[in-house]
Amino acid sequence: MQKQNNNEIVLEIKDLNIYYGAIHAVKGINIKVPKGKIITLIGANGAGKTSTLSAIAGLVKPKSGEILYKGNNIAGKSSHEITRMGIALVPEGRRIFPNLTVYENLMMGAYNRKDKEGIERDLEWVYNLFPRLKERLKQLGGTLSGGEQQMLAISRAIMSKPEIIMMDEPSLGLAPVLVSEVFDIIKVINENGGTILLIEQNAAQALRVSHYGYVLETGNIILENDSDLLLKDESVQKAYLGMA
């Protein structure tokens, strides 16, 4: 099993265990997220991907294990604390504020920030990434299309100026042309220095866009490697890429 190189590790999960009652959802997994890289977790529904992101984001309290962010164990901290520390989550299903305007949704992402000039710069960058959002600043979030809502959810995360953006199924429910657009944006964010932890059922797209991947099955990591090598792995092709 190939190990990642010694790039600066900004987030590390050590022996993480998550239970829901008697159900052992995540079973002692270990994951490293180097600064400036895209790391992906792939696996079927129920594999433990969302539970892992939820624990990092402070939405689920792990039974045991460590979640080290810049060397500090953040396991069990509140979601508000973790957001303030620099970890943003783009949740499955977007979860924007439907009764707020596009602009108000974006500013909700920046609610912890005091740097007005930095906020304005990041707004302009978001407008360049997603021109459609700039055209709809006064429109209520709930009236946007599914693709536009996903753009808004990603942009809201960017506005918190995070060190790491975690994305949970960003392509879910989108038309194929929009799926390609979302993955192109993920690459642009990364090329501009963003560190991304991605979970995605579209395993082929996730592996093409990422640098390193972990394969989860029933709460266990069964395989990890450079993403281009996982794309060529016969067991991954058969189980997740629809190739015999």
User: How far apart are alpha carbons 23 and 154 in whole angstroms?
Assistant: 31
Delineate the domains of the chain, giving CATH numbers in brackets.
1-78+195-244 (3.40.50.300)
User: How far apart are alpha carbons 187 and 203 in whole angstroms?
Assistant: 16
Q: Which helix (H) or strand (E) holds 9?
A: strand 9-20
User: How far apart are alpha carbons 143 and 90 in whole angstroms?
Assistant: 19
Judged on CB neighbours under 10 Å (0-12, 13-18, 19+), 115 is: exposed
User: pTM for the complete prediction?
Assistant: 0.92
Q: Which helix (H) or strand (E) holds 223?
A: strand 220-226
Whether 4 shows a pLDDT value over 70: the answer reads no
Tally Cβ neighbours within 10 Å of residue 20: 11
- Per-residue model confidence (pLDDT) at position 2: 43
Classified as helix, coil or strand, 105 is helix
Q: How confident is the model at residue 97 (pLDDT cuts 50, 70, 90)?
A: very high
Contact 184, 14 (CB under 8 A): no
Q: In this predicted model, what pLDDT tens digit does every residue of 201-239 receive, in sequence order? A: 889 999 999 999 999 999 999 999 999 999 999 999 999
User: How far apart are alpha carbons 89 and 101 in whole angstroms?
Assistant: 20
**Which residues on neighbouring strands pair with residue 25, listed in sequence order?**
none
Tally Cβ neighbours within 10 Å of residue 53: 24
